[in-house]
Amino acid sequence: LGYNVFMTRNEDIFIPLGVRVAKGRARNADVFVSIHADAFTSPSARGTGVYMLNTKGATSSAAKFLAQTQNNADAIGGVQSSGNRNVDNTILDMTQTATLRDSRKLGHSVLTELGKLNQLHKGRVDEANFAVLRAPDVPSILVETAFLSNPTEERLLGSESFRQQCAQAIATGIQKYINTAVLRRG
């Protein structure tokens, strides 16, 4: 299909958030996708969700709660600077604006595919300030496949078939995004 997948981990160990992003950067990643199973304080919460970065906060209380719990796992390091604060801020703003636009397109494509598999938690790409999505130049999304705190979805997540279908839906969404991005540039 013309792309390689690189996993930041393949075993149940903790990898600091900044290291996850650094691993993607070291591979010159075109996109970064963080895949999780969600949990919430209420067992009635359910559905699949896709998040992109919102540098100012979260678009919903659930997104804010999730970002706080994810970000508490680690703190991400600073960004390289040129020494000129105005130049740095301008370049960062321009880069991040384009990256956020592309992250939304990537997220929408993946969410559309996942929506064919499971009920969506929301009908749109949600936003939160996840540390793992803060690379200013790589379109990045965080996928919550289903809720572990919901008994029905916990059973789904225990199914090899469901996990394979999630992986395929995510891959299809990424491929559709990449195909569209290539057509725009070409």
Mind listing the pLDDT tens digit for each residue in 84-115?
Answer: 666 656 655 666 778 889 999 999 999 999 99
Q: Comparing 89-93, 101-105, 133-137, 180-184, which segment has the lowest mean pLDDT?
A: 89-93
- The structural domain count of the chain equals 1
Which pLDDT value is given to residue 167? 95
Whole-number pLDDT of residue 60:
52
Mean pLDDT for the chain overall: 81
**pLDDT band per the 50, 70, 90 thresholds, residue 135:** confident
What's the confidence (pLDDT) of residue 95? 66
C-alpha closest to that of 71 among 92, 59, 57:
57
Whether 38 contacts 148, CB under 8 Å: yes
Does 7 fall in a domain? Answer: no
- pLDDT band per the 50, 70, 90 thresholds, residue 57: low
Would 11 be classed as within a structural domain? no
**CA 83-88-132 angle, 5° bins:** 110
Least confident of 33-42, 52-61, 110-119: 52-61
Query: Domain range for residue 48?
Result: 29-185
Whether 155 is in a domain gets the answer yes
Residue 50 counted as domain residue: yes
Domain harbouring 66, CATH code: 3.40.630.40
When pLDDT is averaged across residues 24-52 and rounded to a whole number, the result is: 91
Residues near 120 by beta carbon (within 8 Å), at least 6 away in sequence: 47, 48, 49, 111, 114
